[in-house]
Structure 1
């Protein structure tokens, strides 16, 4: 999910956000690329959710390869990185305001006000169009874990790894149970209507929301730790560490994703008792994959320096407007997936669905770049959140 702190972490309170050319490239580039991961994962999963089935199509070698690649490189690899970037951005809001002489109670009120509005926006997002909202989840984290910004490193990492172990384990078992119930229900459910979808979205978020908080606290706190060291702003100074994180994280993501990939492509018929443990391993590997992707992006950004061609510029523009682009993806799914709308997702193969995800992401890149060209304007969602947080000052 997008990092809604992207604008304010680079601007003074009440002032205009920093222009794209003055911003650090790595966080924006990472967000822009991870939106591609999220779009393809959603499209891939919506393919079988749309027709009520409980498996991928696997219609030929291409579908099988795509499904395996999604498990190894994409599923549960994008959200951890966004949660880490959210922690990174929230820390920078705190550090910048503290550097301006703001006292901690003032900053805490600011961050919690921002969190409350994110919860409101996320709940509206859920009610209106999308069941898998993450904006409200980040808002809840901002409300509940603001104090973590002032933890010592030791306390921060202790809390982080405790959440990693317990939160991910609970999520793995509950998610597996929910998915099994969905698979058993399958096509027995009646045709979807706008009303049944609305009820389903609200009920789903009531179950998934707290679970998403539980699995997002760990990467959020790792993002706080990374921001204190300016890992993304100063990649050249941390090149050796970033290389190790990228190599270890991406390798761990691939190796840890192999069992889940074998299940997804129906090579391994795992016993029911093993499925939640396999998914737990998949989640843990995803954490490190997300960190590895962020580190790799920072290294690329450091290598590029100021040499930003049109593609990199457009990707950074997308990352800067990640909340708007994320919401635009939801609008696309609301049009493409339900049977009472276009209803095309259920008729696609796995590879075709991923292709649709790529196309949706490319459309948001075009929109973001047009906003950049039109006077480097903020995205509408970023503008609204900033106005709600800071007012008209």
Structure 2
């Protein structure tokens, strides 16, 4: 058969029992950070800097500092790295299909991500990143055969590009959020969001290239599945990555928190990229830290750990639940709370939303059910027979490719 050997078995995802804890735990925990990072951009204020109203209380300023230091621009790179990691594991596990067969399998997944992402962006949340992941996978499917040196060199190039001067997200405005985020009425929803969602889908992948390629490299080495074999590398990555992220965030974090005055625009054009570039390193640091944590937690499964990992296995569904919550809470013709909630209250809302998805995902796990969008992406990728299998068998899926991996053996 063309692109597939005669003895090749049909492609199938990894069973839940064979999944490594680290990537699922990282993905599930980081969805909290995704919620915190996205929700504050809906808020209105007399003056808004970097998506944060500047007229809040002292508590609000403390929360802004925490979010700018540890969350903003730090969670999305981790998801980009996990995305690339999953692609590498799929390419390895399905290599019997041949290069063309693997690319077609990945392209089918990218199609689902693009379609679902565009619908989410148009109907609920203009900042949706699923379509951007889909576009990235459409192109990144060609990268699975690159040599390690090419992956690392290209990742380094895009990291440098991220650090080049530019205003990034550090813009000062007295205007309310864009109509794409807060459409004034139902008739304005699609026109307002169409342009922004297209911009995010086509240009968003540029910011994920470096984490994606590093994830491909790490997936080949199976770093997150066998952390006990790579402790020194993972510890160094955690210390260096998180340290660089925390230090590199301080100029922006202190400005956003109102501790220091906002400098002239040329200075902002240097500080914004510094925040973004060190955030990519922070994403790698979080991945390393959580995979090391999984070594300790995996030996003795605990209910909380299992529940958070269940979110990671159903992260696409849980992510889309967040979009629905933001739409209901902030849209002007619905609850319209964008001008009423403070930064602190919005952070609490984000945490509560994430906790609700933890409960939801764990309940689905107990009932042997996968998330509906994980079932969809599996059906398109692997076929009807695999999609219809019980959730206790094949893995539950997540944002982007399945992390086809095995648990550490020692």
**TM-score normalised by the chain length of structure 1:** 0.89
Q: 1:368 Cα deviation (Å)? A: 0.4
How many equivalent residue pairs? Answer: 372
Would you say 1:85 and 2:82 are equivalent positions?
Answer: yes
Alpha-carbon separation, structure 1, partners of 2:310 and 2:66: 27
1:208 is the counterpart of 2:203: no
Candidates 113, 119, 140, aligned match of 1:118: 113
Residue aligning to 2:405? none
Kindly report the root-mean-square deviation, in angstroms, between the aligned alpha carbons of the 2 structures: 2.2
Report whether the alignment pairs 1:344 with 2:337.
yes
Q: Is the 1:58–1:265 Cα contact (8 Å) retained in structure 2?
A: no
Equivalent position SS for 2:126? coil
Query: Does residue 1:43 correspond to 2:39, yes or no?
Result: yes
2:300 aligned partner:
307
- Per the alignment, in what secondary structure is the counterpart of residue 345 of structure 1? coil
Q: Given that residues 12 and 382 in structure 2 are in contact (C-alpha distance below 8 angstroms), is that contact kept between their aligned partners in structure 1?
A: no
Residue 159 of structure 1 corresponds to 154
Q: Distance in 2 between matches of 1:388 and 1:153?
A: 30
Q: For 1:389 and 1:184, how far apart are their aligned partners in 2?
A: 46
Deviation at 1:343, TM superposition (A): 1.5
| Match in the other structure for 1:356 | 349
Q: Distance in 2 between matches of 1:103 and 1:353?
A: 48
SS in 2 for 1:346: coil
Q: How does 1:268-279 map to 2 (within 5 A)?
A: 268-279=261-272
CA distance in 1: counterparts of 2:57 and 2:47, whole angstroms: 21
Structure 1 residues 16 and 81 mapped into 2: Cα distance closer, same or farther (>3 Å)? closer
Q: Residue 57 of structure 1 contacts residue 349 of structure 1 at CA under 8 Å; is this kept in 2?
A: no
Question: Shift of residue 209 of structure 1?
Answer: 2.7
> How far apart in 2 are the matches of 1:151 and 1:16?
23
Partner of 1:3: none
In terms of fraction of residues, the more helix-rich structure is 1
In the alignment, which residue of structure 1 is the partner of 2:57? Answer: 60
Could you say which residue in structure 2 is the equivalent of 1:317? 310
Secondary structure at 1:111's aligned position in 2? helix
Kept in 1: contact 2:48–2:54 (CA 8 A): no
- Structure 1, unaligned runs of 5 or more: 1-11
TM alignment of 1:1-393, pairs within 5 A: 13=10, 15=12, 17-19=14-16, 21-48=17-44, 53=48, 55-57=52-54, 59-98=56-95, 101-167=96-162, 169=164, 172-173=166-167, 175-176=169-170, 179-180=171-172, 183=173, 185-186=175-176, 192-266=184-258, 267-375=260-368, 377-393=369-385
Deviation at 1:109, TM superposition (A): 1.1
Distance, in Å, in 2 between the alignment partners of 1:250 and 1:202 is 36
